Chains A and B, each alone.
Chain A
Amino acid sequence: MSDDNIRTVNDATCTFCGCVCDDIALTVDVAEHRITKSQNACVLGKAWFKEHGVEERPFALIGGREASTEEGVEEAARILAEARYPIIYGLSDTTCEAQRVAVSIADMIGGNVDTTTSVCHGPTGMAFQSVGESTASLGEIKNRADLIIFWGGNPAEAHPRLFSRYAVTPKGMYTPNGRKDRTVVLVDVRRTASAPVADIFLQVKPGTDFEVLWALRALVKGRKIDASIEQRTGIALTVLEDLAARMKRCNFGVLLFGMGLTMTRGRHFNAGALLALAADLNEFTHFVAAPVRGHGNVTGADNVVSWQTGFPFGVNFSRGYPRFNPGEWTTADLLARGEADAAMIIASDPAANFAKAAIEHLRRIPVITLDPKTSITSQLARVAFTTATYGINTPGTVYRMDGVPISLRPAFPSPYPSDEQVLTAIRSRVRTLLGGNRVPAGTPLGATAT
């Protein structure tokens, strides 16, 4: 193994989670297509880099039979062009360049496009549409925040460097003593691995975050709350009063929140209560909130779908223009109700974590997957493409959880095509099959509809 085979890639980006850390130094064994070291990566990042090599796999599988990418494209295009209710889903673990092609296909065929946001921070997006959001980039938090509240998330296990690179320990411009300049609060239903990091831990009763947040809003505005709140939520009134006072007193406060709010009863009401609380606090001090995003480019998926359609996720094109209505055109529902008759799943594995009824429907309809690895969804797919891994093999743009765009630095090439390449080929073929964008009956062809 000569030294020619070893490359270093500095300033590489890890896209395992929404932290999207871009300070990774990779040691790459080019001949073996392996990353042997990923300096600065957390345990999740290390696994991400270590386990995404180049495996010996067919370029595509059609009905379980090995096939070429081109054959896969033919079959996938046929499925999408012939379907009456085709849906595209996933997209959170691929580049913006690929996401843009995916949305253009959904537009072309008059189908549906949705991202993993709808089962992650979709409710936050919905709350955002009602309340807005006071937020800040991660560097702002590092430099200024002296009060940090983690709510409904477990960064120690899901976003480790949120603690070490961005929010808790790093030394910043106005936080030169790092951890000592900050008060850290954790709110959760159970004492997770993140709890030791916190100065204050609030253990709320499951399903009562809304009440706690609403009580804090009231306390911040100087209203009275009855002591019976403790029985309801598990948190004593004195604790809440203390927290509200700290929130008003700090110089720059942050609420970082996760699935504990969005995935439980109340969903967007929970997220909305938190966002409203952060907004309210700006009457007294500078206060921001930010959702902690799970996948490396789910923020990019939100952004691409939003700029191309005006809506963040769950977008339907069947009438010739984008429509948005969570519950109606979100994938969990389209599958659980058995409405979709074809699905293209990109960089995601819904068969591993969707509801039972949705998974059963996925088994009934033709499914196309694009994934670097075998997944539970790819195993049930009619056409399963093997694609290169974004960030490790392919360049492109991703967005960090706070909306900062970063360009990827791939470590080594892959023999497999990128998601963007496969989707572009599919789009081209679909365009040929349909003769252009599908235009609903009654629409003037080629006219500007302004």
Chain B
Amino acid sequence: MGSTLRIVNGRVYDPANGLDGVVQDICIQDGRIVAAVPPDTKTVDARGMVVMPGGVDIHCHIAGSKVNMARKLQPEDHRHDVHLRTRVSRSGTGGTVPSTFTTGYRYAALGYTAAMEAAVTPLGARSTLEELQDTPIIDKGFFVLVGNNVLLFRLLQEGRLEEFRHALAWWIGATKAYAPKLVNPGVDAMWKGERNANITTLDQKIGPFDLTPRKVIGAFIQAANDLGLPHPVHIHCNNLGHSGNYTTTLETMRIADGRRAHITHIQFHSYGSVAGKTTDNPTSKAREIADFVNTHPNISADVGAVLFGRSTSMTADAPLAYMLRQFGGHKWINADSENESGCGILPFTYQDQVYTNALQWAIGLELFLLSDDPWRMVFSTDHPNGGSFMSYPKLIRLLMDREFRKEEMAKVNQKALDNSGLRDCHAREYSLYEIAIITRAGPARLLGLTTKGHLGIGADADITIYEEDADKEKMFSTPRYVIKDGALVIEDHEFRSEAEGRVLHVSPDYDPGIEQVIQPFFEDFYTVQFANYPVDVEYLHHHQVVPTAHQPAGAAPSPGA
């Protein structure tokens, strides 16, 4: 068998293989990139077009109970942005939290072929997996929330580090997750157990636990390191959104101490402070944060840029959402999950004339423009927190087009700009090569997805072909062709076929004896049976296990993939 395809005459941007706009053919067979194909293969003539690997979104919120609650919350968000059914594809609705089919189609229509759901509570893993099954075309996975896990905290405070590591591995495998996620580590004990308190410093005692956030973060970084996970601990630092929080971020990055750690939506964690009339106002500390990331190769980050307009805040950082409610939020969701996590959700609008919002916008851009290593400061808006993924093309334009950026800078609150460093780094423009790094090659590498984000032999045939346009927003909004696993999903701007995409997950090795430690905890404090908690692999349809550093490489996709 072997459906084949060839792309000819396109300018190829494949940073992982050093290709910067080289005109080169790409051959595809059986869903992979190969060296050659038969002469009578269907050919796509990409003359004058830009060929890149499919986009890889390292951090977004697209599936699971938190996302679904946000959907249910906002019919007004969907009503004006409908997605029509076609003969072969499902209808849906959009807005900042689109329905699942629409999410998959729209990501594909932007040229993305993989996305990671960034925060899932283990108890709700099935819910995320079901929604991902209904998110067509793209490959996907999720990060599992472990940074407030009560049993893990207990093991840690008792110094049972080996068991901590085995339990962590068990939890990642049981939920079919891709990577471990920490959100405001320690917050749950404060929010749920101490009448809505919060974590404010890395060295405070976490409620009843003989632990501090510093200790917790260090332990997770070490355990993930020891397990050889393809993507390290993905960290939403403490103190998100607070003036002066950049010190917490720097301290958190220092905890890593040479070991890999990923700081997510780092823009929200890059604020200095200056005294205001009643409270402190934030300022930009993008320079300090960017400098640290630049000089510490073990650290990676995604920016979490803000774009003006409607967004939805959805986060496992429950007190953060409650705090945002004061800024004009009228409806608000809080949802606690036993022994594991919580979440907060509310609609939010970023306005260019509001000082804080304009500052956040500027800091996001600053971080990109100050980055010396685009492989480690990659693209995100923390969709939909900073802005919808549908605004990715606009953000790309802001990075590539200095003139456009200048026009936009003129429209925003100027005092905010004064308190940022954006004017100082404004000269820089991202090239297509760098865009290909921050939206494809970099995220794939950081995630440890060795067959994605590049167009070398053996790579997954996930390819996007754009028509070159001076207006980069227009260019990146409407790829001419999108190929997924070697099949043309979009051809001449039109949707051609459906597909399910694969769930990517890891299955780190652990000592099965750890179940004897975990089970009694379930019996006492959970309300679901231990036997019913782990997700059966048959629950997944198309899926692929990505090996850890200790496991044999090149695991094949599952039967039926």
Contact = CB atoms under 8 A, between A and B. Distances in A.
A447 B63 CA distance: 25
A107 B130 contact: no
- Which 8 A-B pairs rank lowest in CB-CB distance, beginning with the nearest? A139-B338, A310-B93, A136-B336, A321-B82, A436-B87, A132-B331, A405-B126, A139-B527
Interface stretch (A83-91, A188-196, A281-289): A281-289
B410 interface: no
Given A128-B73, A320-B85, A22 B91 contact: no
A436 B87 CA distance: 5
B72 interface: yes
A140 B121 CA distance: 14
A447 B527 contact: no
A76 B487 CA distance: 35
B339 interface: yes
A107 B87 CA distance: 11
A300 B72 CA distance: 13
A134 B74 CA distance: 16
B1 interface: no
Given A96-B130, A136-B336, A137-B338, A439 B527 contact: no
B193 A144 contact: yes
Nearest to A309: B99
30 contacts: A11-B532, A22-B529, A108-B85, A128-B73, A129-B72, A132-B331, A132-B333, A133-B334, A134-B333, A136-B337, A137-B527, A139-B525, A142-B525, A143-B339, A166-B527, A252-B192, A286-B196, A307-B67, A307-B71, A310-B95, A311-B93, A321-B82, A322-B78, A322-B93, A322-B99, A397-B126, A405-B124, A437-B88, A437-B89, A450-B83
Interface in A355-408: 397, 399, 403-407
Contacts, number: 231
Given A132-B345, A136-B335, A286-B196, A308 B101 contact: yes
Given A308-B92, A322-B92, A447-B494, A143 B71 contact: no
Contact of A320 (B71, B74, B84, B495): B84
B130 to A, nearest CB: 6
A131 interface: yes
Contacts of A251: 193, 195
A1 interface: no
Interface in A112-171: 125, 128-140, 142-144, 165-166
A403 B65 contact: yes
Interface centre among A107, A174, A308, by most chain B C-beta atoms within 10 angstroms, is A308
Interface in B523-557: 524-529, 531-532, 536, 539
Contacts of A130: 331
Given A282-B322, A285-B195, A135 B105 contact: no
A307 B63 CA distance: 8
Interface in B406-425: none
A407 B126 contact: yes
A312 B72 CA distance: 6
Given A140-B338, A310-B78, A132 B106 contact: no
A446 B89 CA distance: 8
B511 to A, nearest CB: 23
B78 A311 contact: yes
Interface in A408-450: 409, 435-439, 443-450
Contacts of B148: none
A107 B336 contact: no
A143 B127 contact: no
Given A129-B72, A139-B525, A407 B539 contact: yes
Contact of B87 (A23, A143, A445, A448): A445
A448 B495 contact: yes
A11 B529 contact: yes
B337 A450 contact: no
A404 B71 contact: no
A92 interface: no
A80 interface: no
A172 interface: yes
Interface residues of B, number: 74
Interface in B354-380: none
A302 interface: yes
B75 interface: yes
A108 B91 CA distance: 9
Contact of A322 (B82, B134, B196): B82
A141 B74 CA distance: 27
Contacts of B127: 303, 399, 403, 405
Contacts of B88: 436-437, 446
Interface of A: 10-11, 13, 22-23, 96, 100, 104, 107-108, 110, 125, 128-140, 142-144, 165-166, 172-174, 251-252, 279, 282, 284-286, 288, 302-303, 306-312, 317, 320-322, 324, 397, 399, 403-407, 409, 435-439, 443-450
A397 B130 contact: yes
Contact of B494 (A129, A303, A403, A448): A448
Contact of A450 (B109, B332, B532): B109
Contact of A321 (B67, B93, B105, B495): B93
B335 A404 contact: no
B346 interface: yes
Contact of B124 (A22, A135, A403, A438): A403
A135 B495 contact: no
A165 B72 contact: no
A286 B187 CA distance: 13
A22 B533 CA distance: 10
A404 B101 contact: no
A303 B195 CA distance: 30
A129 B334 contact: no
B490 A448 contact: yes
Contact of B91 (A139, A320, A406): A320
A446 B346 CA distance: 35
B119 to A, nearest CB: 15
B151 to A, nearest CB: 11
Contacts of A125: 72
Given A252-B192, A404-B124, A307 B100 contact: yes
B90 interface: yes
Contacts of A11: 529, 531-532
Contacts of B84: 320-321, 439, 443, 449
Interface centre among B106, B131, B334, by most chain A C-beta atoms within 10 angstroms, is B334
Contacts of A132: 73, 331-333, 345-346
B99 to A, nearest CB: 4
Contacts of B63: 307
A70 to B, nearest CB: 26
B86 interface: yes
Contacts of A166: 527
Contact of B99 (A100, A310, A445): A310
A300 to B, nearest CB: 9
